[in-house]
Amino acid sequence: MTARDTILASIRRALGVTGREAPRRQAVADRLKEHPRGVVPARGQLPQPERLALFRAMVEAAAGTVEDVRADDVPGAVARFLRAHNLPMAIRRGADPRLAALPWDRERTLAVTTGASRGGDLAAISHAFGAAAESGTLMLTSGADNPTTLNFLPDTHVVVVAAADVAGDYETLWQRLRERLGAAVPRNVNLITGPSRSADIAQTLILGAHGPRRLHVLVVGGH
Amino acid sequence: MTLRATSPAFKENVREALSDVQLQKALGGGLGFTEQRRRAAEKLPEFEALRDSARDIKNHTLAHLDLYLEAYEERVVATGGQVHYAVDAEAARTIILDICRTAAAKTVTKGKTMIAEEIGLNDFLEQNGVVPVETDLGEYIIQIRHETPSHIIAPAIHLNKEQVEEDFRRVHTHLPPDRNLSEPATLLAEARAILREKFLAADVGITGANFLVAETGSSIIVTNEGNGDLTQTLPKIHIVLATIEKLVPTLEDAAQLLRVLARSATGQEMAVYTTLSTGPRRPDDPDGPAQYHVVILDNGRSAMLGGEFQDMLRCIRCGACMNHCPVFNAIGGHAYGWVYPGPMGAVLTPSLIGVDQAGHLPNASTFCGRCEEVCPVRIPLPRMMRSWREREFERHLSPATVRSGLAVWAFFAKRPRLYGLATGIAARALSLAGIFTGRLRWLPLASGWTRYRDFPVPQGATFQSQWKRRKR
């Protein structure tokens, strides 16, 4: 008997089942197909203007910063943010067409590189798949458009999110993921709520443990 | 075989812990988590309803665990991942070492996983020429101290910053000896720089999983530092080590559990990083591991299904029960002697390593009930500790003095008149003995109490006689 069979047999023996019971199989198949929503907090179901306001407040509560910008001002906002923090004028991005289409050439002093990070970059910019206002959480998906390494290796992470993609709750994001990507779930779905932190030494909370010390969110189209 | 337990020596462990000045200093301020949890729960009106929902999801999953396991496996394989099954710790270690060997791995980075502690993975890898590097800050600190975690989400909570500074100076000898390490921030910066190199150099990354999602074949890790993500993104191979009860049916179900997890643990609305990983890197991906393995471990859990300890398998490892436990707060986590401390450990440990080994743990409770009050999946921890005490008694594992004491008590308890008479006499005798001071410094048969503190004398009549009077 393989280990797999041993474990399944042991589970079935303990539960007093065979695994062939039609009602049990149906219950499992139904749940996987229908993925019923459970309790969704009321704060995750706000209409648009309040939803964006909640999103901004929750990002800030999680020690992130947030700014409303027009799409064509994203490069300018990036340059201002880097300058304000005395950071080198360089940023790395993936191949996301929404980022590629931005007027980066307006910022002459800003060096923009593309592709995954190998650890040498101080700042990166990604485009979020969406966000959940209920906790100020960004959702990013892996791939050439927005490489996962950009979310974790640089010290500063700037994330662009379209106001229309800011959902109230996680459930809405799961549903959009299913609708847009079908069975092709990306390797990583990253839910990010604020910058990296640790309180492992003497219960003292410090930002920037292994991931970014700064998380700056640019909401586009929210005016 | 699993990690060797010192749980049988619990009493000695406790004595040491109580007289350990450094430990008491670290625990002294109390755990800030409890206040933060309370605030987070109060801020979310649906919190109690979410706890019910979380409990129900776990119950449903456990009742259909065989089928969800099969569904999960099918999705992992369909997305290009590999699933390995391990009945016990030894099997899990062997599977992991074999995967490391196929990659000729020299170093392995590790995200925080209690299961790896449970199977004693680090020592085993080291013995076999693979260097494991813990990357969670707390885990890294205890690894260089050759210790085990003392808390399931804050592994180095038993240490203060001076101890960490001392360890960093001892181990990071390539750095200037006159550097300033007086603040947690400088200690963190040093660890970050050192571990950054390790992340980039590792051949294999091992993480645990907070959840396995049957619907998508995804593993989910929840962290604040981002170390788990670097661990699983940068090396060629990602190994997920998880036990069978981590399964949840769908992404919606995961969302219910995520809403109670961080709030119960640290009082955050959401941990900083919640990451779903599904299969290896896709053909067009510029980063991510080329191989994705999941090692699913049983190690005694399937035997808990269908029995009186099944509810324990709902546990999502938030640590709220230990944060709120007066016993844990007094003695820390190491005294429990195995991987899982606090109330959840007191119930789980006897299930996994035997009540003969861990019988002391369920006795280390005041039954104040706070653990159950705050458990996000409403595990009846006090009831289960009581069950273990009964089993320990039935199997004649409790010491002779306890057994004869209980026999004497039972003799009186079954004879109510005699009981009332005896307790009445005792109460009067005790208040007479302490008539001037109101307390007793010494009491026959109770030196275990009076050696450390005075015994307050009874005030007035016994509870039963007062009860009788007031009812009338």
Residue B372 has pLDDT above 90, yes or no: yes
* Structure letter (DSSP) for residue A122: S
Residue A204 has pLDDT above 50, yes or no: yes
Q: C-alpha distances in angstroms, B152 versus A165, A197, B392, B425?
A: 36, 17, 26, 48
Q: Which of A92-101, B226-235, B351-360 has the lowest mean pLDDT?
A: B351-360
Q: C-alpha distances in angstroms, A62 versus A39, A75, A123, A131, B1?
A: 23, 24, 20, 14, 42
Cβ contacts of B19 within 8 Å, gap of 6 or more: none
Please report, rounded to a whole number, the percentage of residues in chain B having pLDDT higher than 90: 79
| pLDDT the model gives residue B251 | 97
β-strand partners of B220: B211, B276
Between chain A and chain B, the number of residue pairs with CB atoms below 8 A apart is: 274
The whole-number average pLDDT for the span B264-292 is 97
If asked whether residues A61 and A9 sit together in one domain, one would say: no
Which is nearest to B116 in space by CA: B99, B93, B100?
A: B93
Please report, rounded to a whole number, the percentage of residues in chain B having pLDDT higher than 70: 99
Q: Nearest Cβ partner of A15 from B85, B274, B306?
A: B306
Residue B445 has pLDDT above 80, yes or no: no
If asked whether residues A23 and A92 sit together in one domain, one would say: no
| pLDDT the model gives residue B29 | 67
If asked whether residues A30 and A64 sit together in one domain, one would say: no
**Which of residues B293 and A1 earns the better pLDDT score?**
B293
| pLDDT the model gives residue A145 | 97
If asked whether residues A100 and A179 sit together in one domain, one would say: yes
If asked whether residues A107 and A156 sit together in one domain, one would say: yes
If asked whether residues A127 and A69 sit together in one domain, one would say: yes
CA gap A46, B368 in Å, rounded: 40
Q: Has residue A23 been placed in a domain?
A: yes
Which is nearest to B92 in space by CA: B117, B70, B69?
A: B117
The whole-number average pLDDT for the span B25-47 is 89
CA gap B470, B157 in Å, rounded: 48
Q: Has residue A39 been placed in a domain?
A: no
- A192 and B199 within 8 Å at the Cβ level: the answer is no
**Contact in structure between A58 and A79 (CB atoms under 8 Å):** no
**Which of residues B460 and B361 earns the better pLDDT score?**
B361
CA distance from start to end of chain A: 63
Q: Which residues of B209-231 are buried (b: 16+ CB within 10 A; e: fewer)?
A: bbbbbbbbbbbbbbbbbbbbbbb
If asked whether residues A133 and A166 sit together in one domain, one would say: yes
Q: Has residue A41 been placed in a domain?
A: no
Torsion angle, alpha carbons of B382, B383, B385, B390, to 10:
140
* Structure letter (DSSP) for residue B136: S
- Residue A165, sorted as left (phi over 0), alpha (psi -120 to 50) or beta, turns out to be alpha
Domain that holds residue A7: 1-34
Residue B451 has pLDDT above 90, yes or no: no
Residue B305: pLDDT band by 50, 70, 90 thresholds?
very high
CA gap B321, B336 in Å, rounded: 14
Residue B1 has pLDDT above 60, yes or no: no
Domain count, chain A: 2
| pLDDT the model gives residue B472 | 65
Residue B470: pLDDT band by 50, 70, 90 thresholds?
confident
- B192 and A3 within 8 Å at the Cβ level: the answer is no
Question: What CATH architecture is B303-394?
Answer: Orthogonal Bundle (1.10)
Give the CATH number of the domain where residue A199 resides. Answer: 3.40.50.10420
| B134 CB neighbour count, 10 Å cutoff | 25
If asked whether residues A173 and A210 sit together in one domain, one would say: yes
Q: Show the tokens assigned to B374.
A: 């705050």
pLDDT, averaged across chain B: 93
CA gap B374, B239 in Å, rounded: 32
Looking at the complex, does the CB of residue B226 fall below 8 Å from at least one CB of chain A? yes
Q: Show the tokens assigned to B84.
A: 């390995």
Residue B269: pLDDT band by 50, 70, 90 thresholds?
very high
- A41 and B46 within 8 Å at the Cβ level: the answer is yes
Residue B31: pLDDT band by 50, 70, 90 thresholds?
low
Residue B257: pLDDT band by 50, 70, 90 thresholds?
very high
- A189 and B87 within 8 Å at the Cβ level: the answer is no
Amino acid at A168: G
The answer for A 167-186 residues in CB contact with B (under 8 A) is 169-171, 174, 177, 185-186
Q: Nearest Cβ partner of B273 from A12, A31, A190?
A: A190
Residue B462: pLDDT band by 50, 70, 90 thresholds?
confident
- Tens-place pLDDT, residues B65-75: 999 999 999 99
Which is nearest to B76 in space by CA: B364, B398, B292, B372?
A: B292
If asked whether residues A114 and A91 sit together in one domain, one would say: yes
Torsion angle, alpha carbons of B219, B222, B224, B230, to 10:
-10
Residue B64 has pLDDT above 90, yes or no: yes
- A3 and B86 within 8 Å at the Cβ level: the answer is yes
Residue A207: pLDDT band by 50, 70, 90 thresholds?
very high
- B154 and A199 within 8 Å at the Cβ level: the answer is yes
The answer for A 136-165 residues in CB contact with B (under 8 A) is 136-137, 142-144, 147-149, 151-153
**Contact in structure between A147 and A204 (CB atoms under 8 Å):** no
**Which of residues A153 and B470 earns the better pLDDT score?**
A153
Q: In which residue are the tokens 């989910």 written? A: B220
CATH number for domain B31-299, candidates 3.40.50.10420, 2.40.50.100, 3.40.50.720, 2.70.180.20: 3.40.50.10420
Q: Which chain A residue's Cα is nearest to B188?
A: A209
Whether ipTM tops 0.85, in short, is yes
**Contact in structure between B327 and B395 (CB atoms under 8 Å):** no
**Contact in structure between B397 and B359 (CB atoms under 8 Å):** yes
Q: In which residue are the tokens 């779905």 written? A: A189
Residue B405 has pLDDT above 50, yes or no: yes
